[in-house]
Structures are given as C-alpha cells and as structure tokens.
C-alpha cells in the first residue's frame, strides 16, 4: 500500500457566491472535503486504483467528521488522535477571485507526536511508498519530516517529500535524504536565491549540482504549472511538457503530481514513466473543478500527450 501523511488536516470548506457583499449577509451552500495536501494525494491515489492508507494527526469533533469525509472518499485512514480540534479552512469563490481563510490548527504535544511516530513506523513497515505533504502543525519540531524520512529509509521504502519553509530546510540539511522532492519554480528560486523561469532553465542543473543540500536526492523535480516540469534524476535532466489544456482549477495540481509519482514509483516504473505519470495527474487535476480530483476519462489522451525530452 501507499502511505500518505497529513500532519495538519483540515475540513476544507468552499463557499461560492457570484458577488461578495461586504458588511452584509451572503447566503451560501458549503461544499466540504477532507483537506490538507496529503489528503489530496490520497484522493488521487484512490482514483488511480492504489491501495492507500492515510495517516497523520486528527482531533476532536472536526477530526471525527474528517474521518467520515475520508470514508465517503474511500480512503482508509489510520490517524493518531490528539486532544486539539482539527482545523477548518475556508475558500471563498467570488467575483472571479478565490479568497482563503486558513486556520493555523491545533497545538500538538510531545507525547502525541511520539504516539504518531510509533504509529507511522508501524505503517511504514507495510508500505511500498510514503508521501509526506504540507506544513507541520504547532508544537511539532521543524525536523520532524527529516525524522520520518529516516524511518522510511531505514525500512528501504521510497519517501516523497512535498513541503516548504523550515520543514523542507531541515529535511534538506539532514544526512538521510528523501527519494524525491518537488518544489515548484517559486519555491526552488526561494531556496537557491535564483530567478529561473520556465523559459530559462539553462543553469539550473549546475546550480543544483553545486548545492550540497540536494546531493544524494535521487529525484529533484521542479514543477512549473502549465509549463510542465523538469526533473534531475540519475545524472539526467528530463523536461516534461504537458499538452495545452483548458485549466479549470489548478489548486492541488502539485499534490496530484505527487500522487502520480508515488503510483509509478511504487509500481517500479522507469524514470520516463514516473515523470509522465506525475505530469498527467497534475494536468488532469487542473482540468477538474474539484481539488485533488482527476478527469479520468482524459487519461489516455493526456498520458500520451505529455512530451518528455532529455536536456
Ligand atoms: P504546485 O501546485 O505544487 O505549485 P504546479 O502548479 O507546478 O505545482 O503544478 C504541478 C503540475 O501540474 C505541473 O508540473 C503540471 O504538470 C500540472 N499543471 C499545473 N497547472 C497546469 C495547467 N494550467 N495546465 C496544465 N498542467 C498544469
């Protein structure tokens, strides 16, 4: 099975109004999903037909409700219970804009974190691939993903890391490296202090090779939205270009890409298939109004249409 980790899940709530009326009543019908980047990954893996187990931290009545939402999505879940209440995040779609309200979520105690790490180690021993996605909740040290990477590596299970900020910094500084990291162009420019664009990637390979933080990571994939991605793997630079599509909602395309990578890596696919699968999932998510959901009936067309070239 593929194990997905969501440390700070959320009841993602979407309100849609044609026009937002400020300082007055706006009547809405909410759409609620089990959110957090790892749960987007999980939903896509279910669509791909993978055996998925989602884990992380869940608390309170919101946590119980999140469990029900996961059940409805067909996601098997083995979360560690915590005392704090899991969060709610609100996306307000109005006037052609998306305005978001993101709760920071509960504070996790040291004991709760240790209980989770025990649960995680147990699940990792049964997994063929692990994904670690999103931010860490309050109370969880920044080096926690580095620790989770080391536990997976000890068991010989590939581990895909998709996070940013201090949690990513700590994982990149650690001795044991993840199998794959997938910063987007903005994130990699932030990490390297560069200003690469999808049209000018000429020195990216050399810049990454000169940066000791990326040494020993088998897959460094830089995703570039509609421009596709570029992957550094096994001494090769592979550029993937997705076919031109009508993007409906690209939120969650990075998470869908991670799901595609996990699916192909767990299946033992070759490098080009891994890249093709990840880009297909990112693109099919952008074509679907729901976050972390693929337009599966376009699979063959997009999968065949992704162009992979060696730079
Ligand atoms: P993130 O969501 O992490 O910022 P990206 O926006 O780079 O990630 O998207 C991840 C992948 O999803 C891209 O590499 C690409 O394959 C696909 N994708 C995203 N947006 C689009 C789009 N508008 N058209 C086609 N593919 C897209």
pLDDT in tens, 211-228: 999 999 999 999 999 999
- Minimal CA–CA distance to 275: which of 298, 297, 251, 258? 258
| pLDDT at residue 202, rounded to an integer | 82
| pLDDT at residue 201, rounded to an integer | 87
- Minimal CA–CA distance to 265: which of 168, 161, 133? 161
Tell me which residues are annotated as active site: 255
User: Which residue puts its alpha carbon closest to atom 9 of ligand 1?
Assistant: 225
CB of 243 closer than 6 angstroms to any ligand 1 atom: no
Question: Where on the phi/psi map is residue 124: left (φ > 0), alpha (ψ -120 to 50), or beta?
Answer: alpha
Domain count, the chain: 1
The owner of tokens 């939402």 is 69
CB atoms near residue 248 (< 10 Å): 12
CA of 229 to the centre of ligand 1 (A): 8
**C-alpha to C-alpha distance for 15 and 94, rounded to whole angstroms:** 8
| pLDDT at residue 249, rounded to an integer | 87
Q: Specify the pairing of strand 80-82 against strand 2-6.
A: unpaired
pLDDT in tens, 55-67: 999 999 999 999 9
The CATH number given to whatever domain includes residue 245 is 3.40.1190.20
By CB atoms closer than 10 A (0-12, 13-18, 19+), residue 98 is exposed
Q: Collapse the DSSP code of 92 into the 3-class scheme (helix H, G, I; strand E, B; otherwise coil) and give the result.
A: strand
| pLDDT at residue 95, rounded to an integer | 93
**C-alpha to C-alpha distance for 167 and 163, rounded to whole angstroms:** 7
CB of 229 closer than 6 angstroms to any ligand 1 atom: yes
Q: Collapse the DSSP code of 226 into the 3-class scheme (helix H, G, I; strand E, B; otherwise coil) and give the result.
A: helix
Confirm whether the ipTM is greater than 0.90. Answer: yes
List beta partners, residue 237: 232
CB of 54 closer than 6 angstroms to any ligand 1 atom: no
- The answer, as to whether pTM is greater than 0.90, is yes
- Minimal CA–CA distance to 243: which of 288, 199, 294, 306? 306
**Cβ contact 192:211 at 8 Å:** yes
**Which long-range CB contacts under 8 A does 59-65 form with residues at least 24 apart?**
59/83, 59/84, 59/85, 59/86, 59/106, 60/84, 60/85, 60/86, 60/106, 61/85, 62/11, 62/86, 62/87, 62/88, 63/9, 65/11
> Which range marks the domain in which residue 192 is found?
2-21+28-310
CB of 292 closer than 6 angstroms to any ligand 1 atom: no
């Amino acid at each position: 099975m593929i194990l997905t980790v969501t440390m700070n899940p959320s009841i993602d709530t979407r309100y849609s109004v044609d026009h937002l009326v400020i300082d007055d009543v706006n009547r809405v019908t909410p759409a609620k999903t089990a959110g957090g980047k790892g749960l987007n990954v999980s939903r896509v893996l279910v669509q791909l037909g993978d055996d998925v187990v989602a884990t992380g931290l869940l608390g309170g009545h919101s946590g119980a409700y999140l469990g029900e939402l996961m059940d409805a999505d067909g996601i098997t879940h083995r979360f560690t219970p915590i005392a704090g209440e899991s969060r709610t995040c609100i996306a307000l779609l109005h006037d052609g804009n998306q305005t978001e309200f993101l709760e920071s979520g509960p504070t996790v105690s040291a004991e709760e974190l240790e209980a989770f790490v025990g649960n995680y180690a147990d699940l990792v021993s049964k997994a063929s691939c692990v994904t670690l996605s999103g931010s860490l909740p309050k109370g969880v040290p920044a080096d926690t993903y580095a620790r989770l990477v080391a536990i997976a590596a000890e068991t010989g299970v590939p581990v895909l890391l998709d996070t940013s900020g201090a949690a990513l910094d700590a994982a990149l500084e650690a001795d044991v490296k993840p199998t794959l990291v997938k910063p987007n162009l903005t994130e990699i420019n932030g990490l390297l202090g560069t200003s690469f664009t999808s049209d000018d990637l000429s020195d990216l390979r050399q810049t990454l090779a000169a940066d000791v933080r990326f040494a020993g990571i088998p897959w460094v994939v830089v995703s570039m939205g509609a421009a596709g991605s570029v992957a550094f793997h096994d001494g090769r630079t592979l550029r993937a270009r997705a076919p031109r599509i009508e993007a409906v909602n690209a939120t969650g395309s990075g998470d869908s890409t991670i799901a595609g990578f996990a699916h192909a890596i767990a299946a033992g696919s070759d490098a080009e298939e891994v890249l093709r699968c990840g880009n297909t999932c990112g693109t099919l998510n952008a074509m679907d109004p729901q976050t972390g959901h693929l337009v599966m009936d376009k699979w063959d067309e997009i999968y065949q249409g992704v162009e992979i070239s060696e730079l």
